[in-house]
């Protein structure tokens, strides 16, 4: 029973794995290129608020799976904000 519960929680945490990887990669350009360092702090703070709110909303109904889901939602929000903050100004990518 414990193994099955742990496996279920790990499956839910895996939904946020891409977000975790992206946050690590996307935060580096802000600190290495003289960009405003307040933006990563803002993105992480927003992600933390999203995680807290989602955790509060989901834990009552889904238990530990709700906590894992809230983590995935919050870190994905942070990654999305960092991606939007970088835009195309760091490395220009030609589409045509």
| pLDDT tens string 23-68 | 999 998 888 877 778 899 999 999 999 999 999 999 999 999 999 9
Domain hosting 61: range is: 2-86
Which of 92, 94, 85 lies closest to 28, judged by CA? 85
Angstrom distance (rounded) from CA 14 to CA 96: 35
The total number of structural domains in the chain stands at 1
Helix, strand, coil percentages in the chain from 3-state DSSP, rounded to 5: 80, 0, 20
* Residue 79 belongs to some domain of the structure: yes
CA atoms within 13 Å, Cβ hemisphere of 89:
11
Residue with tokens 């045509």: 96
* Residue 59 belongs to some domain of the structure: yes
- Whether 88 shows a pLDDT value over 70: the answer reads no
* Residue 92 belongs to some domain of the structure: no
Q: What is the mean pLDDT of residues 70-77?
A: 97
């Amino acid at each position: 029973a414990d193994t099955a519960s742990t496996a279920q929680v790990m499956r839910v945490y895996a939904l946020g794995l891409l977000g975790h990887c992206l946050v690590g990669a996307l935060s580096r350009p802000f600190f290495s290129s003289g960009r405003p360092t307040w933006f990563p702090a803002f993105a992480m703070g927003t992600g933390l608020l999203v995680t807290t709110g989602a955790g509060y909303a989901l834990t009552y109904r889904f238990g530990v799976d709700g906590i894992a889901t809230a983590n995935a939602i919050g870190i994905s929000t942070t990654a999305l904000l960092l991606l939007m903050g970088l835009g195309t100004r760091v490395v220009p990518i030609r589409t045509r």
